[in-house]
Amino acid sequence: MINLELPQKVKNTQMMSHQLAAGVFRPIARKYDKIEHCEIPKELVPVGKMLAAAGSGGKLGADGGGGGEGVKNGGNMMGVVGTTEMAWGCCGLMLSIPGMGLGNAAISAVGSPEQKEKFGKLYCAMAITEPGCGSDSAAVQTTAVLEGDEWVLNGEKIFATAADRGDAVVVWASLDKTIGKAAIKSFLVEKGTPGMSVVRVEDKMGLRVSDTAALLFDNCRIPKENIMGNPEIADTEEARKKAFGGVMQTFDNTRPQVAAMSLGVARAALELAKELLEKESVCPQYNKSFFNSTALEAELYKMEAELEASRLLTLKAAWMADNKIPNSKEASMCKAKAGRVGNYITLRCVEICGSLGYSEDALLEKFARDSKILDIFEGTQQIQQLIVARHVLGKSSRDLK
């Protein structure tokens, strides 16, 4: 039997996350939206400590369902629900919580016990995108060469969230560019390591409080044990496919979390729009037929339905991850659906609320700006649809590009 209700322990996470969003994030959202390139907001420091003490730091979307038999609702489900609520308050502030970087999710997903112990409590960024390599993660040009007991990294990374404020960075680099994606590995680089420098911190349209930086690696030397996963390059084509598939599994955990961010921002915009419209005597009448509703009421119903569909897809992808069920297709489906719906809802709410939607008197225009990137990072809309198509048609990345 399918049960679409959240279990009590997940509801508790949802309630606490919403309290945090409503009591801490939402009141300061506009303030930090206007202060770009600031230090970590002081209001978030105790939040990071609180989450770390509770055992949640860096683990949103990273852990499985834990031990025991039967259906599990673990870190991924908790992460999706908590992320949705915090993004409802302010997605940029949520991404700025110390210790909650995307790199932390990667470490928890594929790091060794020693790496989790050493780096798991740090604030870790993720550096994948390069000037000539965006959605095609297999085209990474940054190199890693083993010299004695050290890896030497050379290359440039862009659009790395929390790379300036963070304590460490998870860097994707190639051991041999002639081999292609099978030679790509991830490496842990601590802040202050000689050879790694922050080139610039980007000015952005949305998520302005969250820092996004460009990094340069110039003969950056790190310990041999700072590679995540198997340091060997597979010797057969089939083994190489599986190896890169293991690297990409990080996205199977993090894409539902980004979908959850989009859900939170979209829900925030829709709720605020309905509040503003109610003051103008526009109130949805759910006891009426859809075809007897006004055009504006029908638009609200449609947005609510799209949001609910996105939510259910996201919960399914997270549940599958917790229960160790391959979810690459479902992770891309929820990311594609939620990203597109989030953009549509936030922009439409700006439109239907007129001058209030466009002005800074309300947060609607901020929600619209914040939502755009959520359809882009962790894989664009087009890339997600391509991944889904490959799964549905049984095609490889070589067959369907």
Backbone φ and ψ for 146, nearest 5 degrees, come out as: -85, 120
Give the other-Cβ count within 10 Å of 368's Cβ. 24
Residue 200 has, within 13 A of its CA and on its CB side, a CA count of 5
Q: What is the DSSP string of 84-137?
A: HHHHHHHHHHHTTSTT--HHHHHHHHH--HHHHHHHTTS-EEEE--BTTBSS-G
Q: Measured between alpha carbons, how far is residue 280 from residues 146, 267, 277, 353, 360 in Å?
A: 66, 20, 5, 10, 19
8 Å CB contact between 177 and 141: yes
- The first and second tokens of residue 113, run together, are 């016990």
Task: Classify burial at 102, counting beta carbons within 10 Å of its beta carbon; exposed 0-12, middle 13-18, buried 19 or more.
Answer: buried
**Alpha-carbon distance 233 to 179, whole Å?**
9
Give the other-Cβ count within 10 Å of 27's Cβ. 12
Closest CA to 103 of 136, 60, 140, 135: 60
Q: Give me Rg for the CA atoms of the chain.
A: 21
Q: Measured between alpha carbons, how far is residue 292 from residues 282, 315, 320, 382 in Å?
A: 15, 33, 40, 36
378 catalytic residue (yes or no): yes
- The first and second tokens of residue 278, run together, are 């109610």
- The first and second tokens of residue 211, run together, are 């820092």
Candidate list 85, 306, 330, 378, residue with the active-site label = 378
Catalytic residues: 378
